[in-house]
Amino acid sequence: MHSGFPALLRGSGAEVSSGPRCCLIGWQHPSGGLPARGGGACREGRSEVLEEPASWSQTWRAVSAGPSPVREVADFQLSVDSLLENNNDHSRPDIQIQAMRLAEKLKCDTVVSEISTGQGTVNFKINRELLTKTVLQQVIEDGSKYGLKSELFSGLPKKRIVVEFSSPNVAKKFHVGHLRSTIIGNFIANLKEALGHQVTRINYLGDWGMQFGLLGTGFQLFGYEEKLQSSPLQHLFEVYVQVNKEAADDKNVAKSAHEFFQRLELGDMQALALWQKFRDLSIDEYMRIYQRLGVHFDEYSGESFYREKSQEVLKLLDSKGLLQKTLKGTAVVDLSGNGDPSSVCTVMRSDGTSLYATRDLAAAIDRMEKYNFDKMIYVTDKGQKKHFQQVFQILQIMGYDWAERCQHVPFGVVQGMKTRRGDVTFLEDVLNEIRLRMLQNMASIKTTKELENPEETAEQVGLAALIIQDFRGFLLSDYQFSWDRVFQSRGDTGVFLQYTHARLHSLEETFGCGYLNDFNTACLQEPQSVSILQHLLRFDEVLYRSSQDLQPRHIVSYLLTLSHLAAVAHRTLHVRNSPPEVAGARLHLFRAVRSVLANGMKLLGITPLSHQKKGCETSPVNLNTLLLQCSKTSRVWCTVSGLTFRSVAPY
């Protein structure tokens, strides 16, 4: 069932035409939502007033997404301008007259309580009690599936989806550059799974290539087994840096590295044993990092798996007449057909060893055979855009029509990730820095010692702060990382989301679930309640947007707004000392906010925090006070006797 406005119409008993001519396209939520879809409350076809628009997509684009000043007079708006053809035609009838004529033909019913006109719009105010009952019941009944059962998703077939993400380089510490791929890929996989698709999460490790020739030679020259066992990735990193310097000055070292990689390609047992040791130690370290991030994979694959299959790809390319030898002895595929150097993809070195592109071709073919995917998504930085374009194009000319099911999701570069010790290279340094800063903020608060696991709390809050900063903008954009912005005092951070969730969770536990058996919709008619209900109504639209463009920013913006609306509501909608009927209704409202907030946070890869005290009953103030202090905010919330809330300063 759609959780948006059309659901109210269908659930109300109102007469609703499902035909397109009675569908009120062009709906706009006054707070800036998408137009509502499905049936409208009108009893007469709008074709008697207006002609059909040139196209539905044209109408969709014409709906403004900006905020509207008419929240007090309308819940939804129909933009008459969006329904008219030839928007630049000055000879068309006056829009205001058209709006008035249309409003006269529409009638109020059990859903729509008031119809009026604005500047080129028809405004609709819906039955407040119906809004309250429908939204809150739907949130509570659907639970973690709220918004996902929308009619927006009802016609979508369930698909087999492969998501390849993270993909660090074996024998190197987890570089901070792999953080974005990891959290973005995790978000995409979470969203696709929530929508009911069968998702396979693949970590395609960089565990093959010339760098292992350098590393193998370097370890033989500079490596120590004791250091390898005690701190494997740090030691291998030191060895790799040293051998690169030596290879730049000594051609014999470079030659030895080249020969070592050839031995790997030919299956030399001694060389493979050393490589396998490096790989196993690396994966153990990576899994520890993934556990901290709350990320998991269904398959740990790697380039090494395709070293033989890549030779089969080369033979197949050759048999199709697509493989060309250059004067240097390398093998290339000319994607232009006319020898354009910029459209040539090298697939084999002069010594016959494979390349990154060759192994990606082999991996794609193998995954189609193994998973028969409907969609395969690669999450890497935008610097690999051309690489994937060439891989997909080669698959196409090889005759694999399913290549069009492959998609590259690129992202920009994060700049300025530095700790107090200087430049950060490794992700673990960033995670440790986040935990350290959060613990320092928490150290001065007496309730820190009462938390069951303060380090775990600090890490989860810090991760939320990191993820929200990363996801607030377009994924493709580069951005400057700022510690101050991560923990900024204005509220729009992951700390604020965690605080909001913990505060609402404590509210439920403080007053118990006895209030939540039933509620009176008439007790939730204040503007603050209505604003929250209208926002909850839009959750499916936000999920739909993110499912279409795979951008988490829509969900982030929605959750931050929801948290601010909840903060405003807490200023006036007190639970304590309110009549039981009023208190129960308000608890229902805040419970719905917390539920939707938790759903959205989990999709983003954030673990919502509650507030358990060590060895005793839950305290409504411990974690909430910590989070409030950690955000160093003077503009969010304050606890009054641990029960009621006010804003320290107005928003």
Nearest to 271 by CA among 297, 304, 233, 303: 304
**Tokens in use for 396?**
């196409």
Q: Up-side HSE of residue 443: CA atoms within 13 Å toward CB?
A: 7
Q: Which of 488, 452, 456, 457 is nearest to 472 (CA)?
A: 488
In the three-class reduction of DSSP (H, G, I as helix; E, B as strand; rest coil), residue 490 is classed as: coil
What are residue 474's phi and psi, to 5 degrees?
Answer: -65, 135
Return d(Cα 371, Cα 230) in angstroms, integer: 38
| Residues acting as catalytic residues | 172, 175, 178
Strand pairing class (198-205; 160-164): parallel
The C-alpha atoms of residue 595 and residue 575 are separated, in whole angstroms, by 18
Write phi, then psi, for 117 (nearest 5 degrees): -120, 150
Structure tokens at 595: 């539920």
Which two three-digit tokens encode residue 339? 């020898």
Name the 3-class secondary structure at 235.
helix
What lies within 8 Å, CB to CB, of 176 at 6+ separation is 414, 417, 424, 425, 426, 427, 429, 430
> What are the CA-CA distances from residue 104 to residues 49, 115, 117, 177 (Å)?
10, 9, 10, 59
| Bridge-based pairing state of the strands 76-79 and 121-126 | antiparallel
- Round to whole Å and give the CA distance between 9 and 404: 39
Alpha helices in 327-453 (DSSP H): 356-371, 385-397, 427-443
Report the C-alpha gap between 329 and 315 in whole angstroms: 16
Angle at 523 between CA 517 and CA 526, to 5 degrees: 135
